[in-house]
Amino acid sequence: MKGLRLVVITLLCTLTMYAQEAKKNSETVKTKMDVFASKTGIITKFTDFNLTGIKSSYGVKAETRIRKINSGDLEGYFYQIEKPGKYSSSTASIAYLDLVELIKALESLKGQEEADVVMNPDYLENKFVTEDGFQVGYYVSKGKSTWYLRLEKYGSDKTLFVKDAEIIKTSFIEAKEKIDNLSN
């Protein structure tokens, strides 16, 4: 009987420690914007500058803006894309350096698109993912490519389907130029 109690107590302690460790790991996942804007004991100011929205293939128009964050003496700029949903909206916040990388990656993806369509696979997906989980890419199915932006890493209804890569490129470049102008 004592042996059984000892096994049960050991098992419960192990499970409790594992659950606490899993909770710690899930709490540490923060985006670059979360890290920048969530410092305690510091005054933080958010200023938005609206940009041209992105029209999706299905009639939904995502709002876009530059969010300037002043956190104490620090200043940061993030490109935000907000897609309205049925019950809530999804928002991607893209740091400036990630935006520069996204523009480069988009050019590379555009260069591969035609060859991928010609290959005529049953399904093919080609994408670039930032550290924060934002994705830009396309998939090929039935001889046709479809471009998309995945705004948030987790959840449903977080994807914005776009007619072609030029719409995405125009939006990314407008955002980069606005940040360049604001930071000078």
Tens digit of each residue's pLDDT (9 = 90 or more) over 22-45: 444 444 557 777 676 666 778 999
Over the stretch 74-105, which tens digit does the pLDDT of each residue have?
A: 899 999 999 988 788 899 999 999 999 999 99
Tokens coding 152: 């948030």
| pLDDT of the residue at 172 | 98
Listed in sequence order, the residues at least 6 apart from 135 whose beta carbon sits closer than 8 Å to its beta carbon are: 127, 128, 129, 148, 149, 150
Tell me if 51 sits within 8 A of 171, measured CB to CB.
Answer: yes
Three-class SS of 66-84: EEEEEECCEEEEEEEEEEC
Q: Exposed, middle or buried, 106 (CB in 10 Å: 0-12/13-18/19+)?
A: buried
Average pLDDT, the chain: 85
Taking Cα atoms as reference points, which of 139, 128, 117, 121 lies closest to residue 169? 128
Q: What is the pTM of this model?
A: 0.80
